[in-house]
Amino acid sequence: MDTQKLINTAQMLVALDKGLLAMDESNPTIKKRFAQYGIPLTEETRRSYRELIITAPELSKYISGVILFDETIRQQKKDGTPFIKVIEEAGIIPGIKVDAGAKDMAGFPKEKITEGLDGLRERLTEYSQMGARFAKWRAVIVIDKGVPSPSCIEANAHALARYAALCQEAGLVPIVEPEVLMDGEHTLEQCSEVTEQVLQTVFHQLFAQRVILEGLLLKPNMVVAGVNCPKQPTVDEVAYTTVKCLLHTVPAAVPGIMFLSGGQSSELATAHLNAMNKTFKTQAPWALAFSFARAIQQPALEIWNGEEANTTAAQKALILRAMCNQAARQGKYNDNMEKLVI
Ligand code: 13P
C-alpha cells in the first residue's frame, strides 16, 4: 500500500480552503431533485446537468474534488470529451460513490444498513484505473423513538471501516460518511448525543480494521436540531456543539472534516461552517471543510431548470456557492457575499 500517496491526496483535498462538490446522486435521488422543478429525467438531462457543473468557469479555485456517480464517471461532454478528462484538466480531483445505497435493516424497523461490500475490491480497481483518487460510502442513522439501536450503529460502522480498508488497499482515499439524519423532532442535544455515539463507534471500527487515519477524510453531519423540533438553535450554538462533538470523537491524525449539508438551506449550511471556522479554525486539529451536494447545487439546479439557455446563469450560481463556502472555511463569509455579481 502506498501510504504516502493516500496522505498526499487527502491533504490536497483539504488544501487552500477548498472543499468537495458532491454530484454523486443516484438515479432515484436525482429524480427527486429534478422533480422539484419539473425537469424530465433522462440519461441526457442527467448528462447535460453534470456537464454544466464540471465546466463551470474557475470551479477549481474553490473546489478540490468532485464526487461522481457510476453513470457520470463514464459519461462525456457533448463534444465527446470524457468527463474524467475535463475534471482532471481543470485541476480537480475525481472521486466516486461506491456504496450501493442504504437499505431497510432486517429485524430493525425504521433503520437502514448500507450495502455494497460484495465485489467492492474489483470495483475499486476499475474506478482507480479510470482515474478516481478517492471514494465515498454513506451510512444513514435515523433518530426516532428507541432509534438508533446499538446494532444499527455497529453494523454501519463496521461496513464503513471495511470499505475504508479496501479503498486504502486500492490507493483511494476513503470519505467516511456516517450521516445522522435531520428528519424528525429531536433536539440539538439528542443529535449531539447520537452523533457522538456514532463517531465513537466508527473510529473504534476504523482502528479495528487497521485503517490509516492520515489517509481518510470524515464526512459527518453538522450537529443540528431535527427539522421539526420547535426549538431551533442559533448558528453559534450549532457551531459550538458540532465542534465539541468532533473534539470528543475524531482523532487529531484525521486531516479533514468534510461536512455534508443534509437538507439545510444553502445559506445556513455556509453560515454554520463559517461560524465554526471563525471561532475554531486555529484550534481545531483538522480542517473544517465541506462536501456539499444540495447546499452547492440547489440554486444552480433551480435556475437551470432543464434549459440549455440557462446554463451560464446556473454556472454563476454554482460558483457563488462554491466561493461562499471557501470564504466560510476562512471564517470570512457574510450576508453581503450572497449579493455578489459574478
Ligand atoms: P448533501 O450535502 O445534499 O447532504 O449531500 C451530501 C452527500 O454527498 C450525501 O451523501
Q: 105 in ligand 1 pocket by Cβ < 6 Å?
A: no
Q: 292 in ligand 1 pocket by Cβ < 6 Å?
A: yes
Measured CA to CA, the distance from residue 155 to residue 73 in angstroms comes to 29
- Say which of 219, 231, 237, 302 is annotated catalytic: 219
CA distances from 88 to 54, 68, 83, 132, 326 (A): 10, 13, 9, 10, 20
C-alpha cell at 339: 449579493
Which atom belonging to ligand 1 lies closest to the Cα atom of 22?
A: 8
- The stretch 279-291 carries a mean pLDDT of 98
Cα 47 to averaged position of ligand 1 atoms, centre (Å):
19
Measured CA to CA, the distance from residue 300 to residue 94 in angstroms comes to 21
- The stretch 111-128 carries a mean pLDDT of 98
Question: Atom 9 (ligand 1): residue with closest C-alpha?
Answer: 260
65-86 pLDDT, tens digit per residue, is: 999 999 999 999 999 999 999 9
DSSP annotation string for 246-308: HHHHS-TT--EEEE--TT--HHHHHHHHHHHHHHHTTT-SSEEEEEESHHHHHHHHHHHTT-G
Measured CA to CA, the distance from residue 140 to residue 266 in angstroms comes to 21
Which atom belonging to ligand 1 lies closest to the Cα atom of 262?
A: 4
Residue 9 has pLDDT above 90, yes or no: yes
Residue 225 has pLDDT above 90, yes or no: yes
C-alpha cell at 1: 500500500
Measured CA to CA, the distance from residue 281 to residue 275 in angstroms comes to 10
Mutate to test the pocket of ligand 1, among 26, 292, 325 (most ligand atoms within 8 A of CB): 292
Q: How would you class 260 by CB atoms within 10 Å of its CB: exposed for 0-12, middle for 13-18, buried for 19 or more?
A: buried
Q: 294 in ligand 1 pocket by Cβ < 6 Å?
A: yes
Cα 102 to averaged position of ligand 1 atoms, centre (Å):
13
Question: Atom 8 (ligand 1): residue with closest C-alpha?
Answer: 22
- Whether 219 is a known active-site residue: answer yes
C-alpha cell at 54: 464540471
Q: 261 in ligand 1 pocket by Cβ < 6 Å?
A: yes
- The stretch 29-36 carries a mean pLDDT of 98
141-198 pLDDT, tens digit per residue, is: 999 999 999 999 999 999 999 999 999 999 999 999 999 999 999 999 999 999 999 9
C-alpha cell at 140: 444513514
Mutate to test the pocket of ligand 1, among 294, 318, 321 (most ligand atoms within 8 A of CB): 294
Mean pLDDT of the chain: 98
Residue 202 has pLDDT above 90, yes or no: yes
- The stretch 90-116 carries a mean pLDDT of 98
- The stretch 225-234 carries a mean pLDDT of 98
Q: Note the pLDDT of residue 145.
A: 97
Residue 23 has pLDDT above 90, yes or no: yes
Mutate to test the pocket of ligand 1, among 291, 298, 318 (most ligand atoms within 8 A of CB): 291
By the 8 A CB rule, do 250 and 203 touch? yes
Residue 98 has pLDDT above 90, yes or no: yes
Q: 22 in ligand 1 pocket by Cβ < 6 Å?
A: yes
Sequence-ordered strand ranges (E) for the chain: 19-22, 63-68, 93-97, 102-104, 112-114, 134-141, 173-180, 217-218, 256-259, 287-292
Strand partners, 138: 177
Residue 115 has pLDDT above 90, yes or no: yes
- Say which of 25, 51, 177, 179 is annotated catalytic: 177
Measured CA to CA, the distance from residue 296 to residue 291 in angstroms comes to 9
CA distances from 84 to 10, 80, 93, 128, 232 (A): 19, 12, 9, 12, 41
302-340 pLDDT, tens digit per residue, is: 999 999 999 999 999 999 999 999 999 999 999 999 999
Residue found under cell 450495502: 115
How would residue 1 be classed by pLDDT, with cut points 50, 70 and 90? confident
Q: Is 192 helix (H, G, I), strand (E, B) or coil?
A: helix
Which atom belonging to ligand 1 lies closest to the Cα atom of 138?
A: 10
